[in-house]
Chain A
Amino acid sequence: MSNPIVEMKDVSYTYENKHALDHINFTIQKQAFIGLVGPNGGGKTTLIKLLLGINKLQSGSIHLFGEPIHKFKQWNKIGFVSQKANAFNRGFPATVQEVVSMGLTPKVGYLKFFTKAHKQKIEEAVEQVGMSEYLHENIGDLSGGQQQRVFIARALVSNPALLILDEPTVGVDAENVKKFYDLLHHLNEKQQITLLLVTHDIGTMTHHATDIVCLNKALHFHGNPTEFTRLSEHDLSHFYGHPLNVVTHNH
């Protein structure tokens, strides 16, 4: 097996007196599609913040693309679509092209301007998510599902090898959720982008992910969806800390 893209060893994290993560060990292999599930307050967002370098590591170690996180510089290899991405100011006058261009801003660097090659990349990213016809439309005029695609294009424009999505389907209707997962499959299978998707929708994830990771402060499960669906309700309720009944569906 090749070197993992992400390797967490014995990672714990505490907010003042509140324990958020407890001795987490887990790896993400290239081209995996990981569904990260768990109850609210279970440490999912903390784990992502650690991976993105927003929260500083307190104990244990994290390696990204083989490098220790404190030495890691190639942040453009990691794309991120935040839970709050679609909570932006809808009256903001920005076209799809302008929004996606933000994904290249850190890569281009300070005191430098976008070139024709950058503009080409932006158009390609917009095309990847099937939004070319809306390139010059204001993002506030698009539907929730379309906006989510634009934010994925913003994350994709810097050619990330790993794409992290934090509850990206909140507020998106069922039809667009299906289209959204189709897009993720395309990115994962055709473009070999590794995906880490945080979600509450366990039922959907069992249909789409290659791996399920269940986190509630400690790592309770890491395996394939078939193994996950074989878990008893008792086990799941124990992981979640409250009674749980999983209904599987594909959208």
Chain B
Amino acid sequence: MIADFFEYEFLQNTLYTGLLIGLIGPLLGTFIVVRRLSLIADALSHVTLAGIAFGLFLEKKYMVTFITPFYAGMGFSVIGSVFVERLRRVYKAYQELAIPIILSGGVGLSVVFISLADGFNTDLYSYLFGSVSAVSRNDFFSILVIAIIVITVLLLFYKELFMLSFDEEHAVVSGIHAKRIHFLFIVLTALVIAASIRIVGVLLVSALMTLPVAASIRIAKGFKQSILFSVIFGEISVIIGLVAGYYFEIPPGGTIVLTSVLILIITILYKRLKLTRLKRKAIA
């Protein structure tokens, strides 16, 4: 069963791409969660869906092949991230308003493009829930480039992003260019979402960026360890989820997310057990 992933090229593409998104999703997700921006990932994934629908519409109605649904999704996601930032500045006292505005705008656009393309088709279904067979060699190379960009930028701006995440006011007082760094961060988020959609799907992409982090921050000491644990949990979820998805012939988005949920439950129980033991020791 696992051997198939090394034998067939389409499964190799899926596995390698899965390992990449298992790395960059939770890596960026750690910053997203501690900055309490988890729902932004959801909003951007719905904008990405609009882009994908636009790409499918162009492909179906006008035979346009140079703008693939993948690239159209990525473009919409990045544009959506710029709008999120603009809206957060317009509604300073209600910054969370940007999320429902962008999310509903994304869904609205998706519905329009899906209708114009004469309805739902199998391709769109795989974009919604992920697929083990949808990743081409070209997709893999595009996602590899995205992963290299994301990792490089995060390494270079790690200390500034960490400072902004912990205490934005202090970062600004210390002379950090908060707006520019935040903009860079939100564009990276858009890229990671676009990259992850082939495997986990639009509806579940934010789960890959948040669930491993939710599990990790229960047991980690410090921020770097949180990132490390998140990536390990992300990779475990992707590998188990892909193999299970292939074996049971179901979209891997579901199996990846369910594995993440299982890891989360285990860490919560582990932490509870540890606390109970500590309390007992203290009483004794």
> At the interface, yes or no: A250 with Cβ under 8 Å from chain B?
no
Whether A105 touches B225, Cβ cut-off 8 Å, given contacts A93-B220, A98-B162, A110-B160, is no
Interface with A: B80-88, B170-178, B231-239, which one?
B170-178
B34 within 8 A of A: yes
Contact of A82 with B173 at beta-carbon distance under 8 Å, contacts A91-B217, A92-B166, A94-B166 already known:
yes
Contact of B226 among A93, A110, A111, A137 (CB under 8 A): A93
On whether A99 and B176 interact (CB within 8 A), knowing A89-B34, A108-B159, the answer reads no
Evaluate contact between A106 and B217: CB separation under 8 angstroms. Answer: no
Identify which of A88, A105, A108, A137 gathers the most chain B CB atoms within 10 Å of its CB.
A105
Q: Digit string of B174-190 for contact with A (CB within 8 Å is 1, else 0)?
A: 11100000000000000
Is B137 interfacial (CB-CB < 8 Å)?
no
- B143 to chain A minimum Cβ distance, whole angstroms, is 25
Within 8 Å of chain B (Cβ to Cβ): is A84? yes
CB distance B160 to A105 under 8 Å?
A: yes
Which residues from A are CB-within-8-Å of B226?
93
- Docked Cα-Cα span, A45 to B156, in Å, equals 34
Given contacts A93-B217, A98-B222, A138-B221, contact A85 B162 (CB under 8 A): no
- B111 at interface (Cβ–Cβ under 8 A)? no
B interface, size bucket: 20 to 34
Q: Are A80 and B173 in contact (CB under 8 A)?
A: yes
Interface flag for A186 (CB, 8 Å):
no
- Chain A interface extent, by class: 20 to 34
Residue from B170, B174, B176, B217 in contact with A85 in the complex, judged by beta carbons closer than 8 Å: B170
What A residues does B216 contact at CB under 8 A? 93
Q: Which residues of A contact B4 (CB under 8 A)?
A: none
What's the nearest-Cβ distance from chain B to residue A244, in Å? 31
B167 within 8 A of A: yes
Of B159, B163, B222, B225, the residue contacting A114 (CB under 8 A) is B159
Q: Is the CB of A82 within 8 A of B175?
A: no
User: Chain B, 204-240, contact with A by CB distance < 8 Å: what is the 0/1 string?
Assistant: 0000000000001100111111100000000000000
A52 part of interface (Cβ distance < 8 Å): yes
A99 to B174 CA separation, bound complex (whole angstroms): 14
A94 and B173 contact, Cβ closer than 8 Å, known pairs A85-B167, A110-B160, A114-B159: no
Contact at A93–B169, with CB atoms within 8 Å? Answer: no
Residues of B within 8 A of A105 (CB): 159-160, 162-163, 171, 174, 176
- Minimum distance in angstroms from B38 CB to a CB of chain A: 13
Whether B120 is near chain A, meaning CB under 8 Å from some CB there, is no
Q: Hey, what's the 0/1 contact readout for A34-68 against B, CB within 8 Å counting as 1?
A: 00000000000000000010100000000000000
Selected from B156, B167, B222, the residue in CB contact (under 8 A) with A93 is B222
Q: B157 an interface residue at 8 Å Cβ cutoff? A: yes
Q: A114–B217 Cα gap in the complex (Å)?
A: 24
Nearest chain A CB to B182 CB, angstrom units: 15
Q: Please indicate the chain A residues that have their CB under 8 angstroms from the CB of B36 in the complex.
A: 89
Q: Does A95 contact B (CB under 8 A)?
A: yes
Give the residues in chain B near A98, CB-CB below 8 Å.
162, 222-224
Chain B hits for A106, CB < 8 A: 174-176
Q: Complex formed: what's the CA distance from A54 to B175 in Å?
A: 9
CA distance A101 to B224 in the complex (A): 13
Q: A136 an interface residue at 8 Å Cβ cutoff?
A: yes
Question: Out of B34, B169, B222, B224, which one reaches A84, CB within 8 Å?
Answer: B169
Distance in angstroms between the alpha carbons of A59 and B120 in the assembled complex: 64
- Is there an interface contact between B222 and A88, defined as CB atoms closer than 8 Å? no
Q: How far is the CA of A225 from the CA of B34 in the complex (A)?
A: 44
In whole Å, how far is B156's beta carbon from the nearest beta carbon of chain A? 5
A75 to B171, CA, bound (A): 13
B38-80 vs A: 1/0 string, CB under 8 Å? 0000000000000000000000000000000000000000000
A94 touching B217, Cβ below 8 Å: no
CB-nearest residue of chain A relative to B156? Answer: A111
In the assembled complex, the Cα of A136 lies from the Cα of B160 at a distance in Å of: 20
Whole-angstrom distance from the CB of B257 to the nearest CB of chain A?
A: 22
Chain A stretch 88-141: residues in CB contact (< 8 A) with chain B: 88-89, 91-95, 97-99, 101-102, 105-106, 108, 110-111, 113-114, 136-138
Complex Cα spacing A75 to B166, Å: 20
A136, B167: Cβ atoms closer than 8 Å? no
B222 touches A102 (CB 8 A): no
CB distance from A84 to the nearest CB of B (A): 6
CB<8 Å pairs between A and B, sample of 17: A54-B173, A80-B170, A82-B173, A93-B217, A93-B220, A94-B166, A95-B221, A95-B223, A102-B163, A102-B166, A105-B163, A105-B176, A108-B159, A110-B160, A111-B156, A138-B221, A138-B222
Per CB-CB distance, the 5 closest pairs between chain A and chain B, nearest first, are: A95-B222, A93-B226, A106-B174, A102-B163, A105-B159
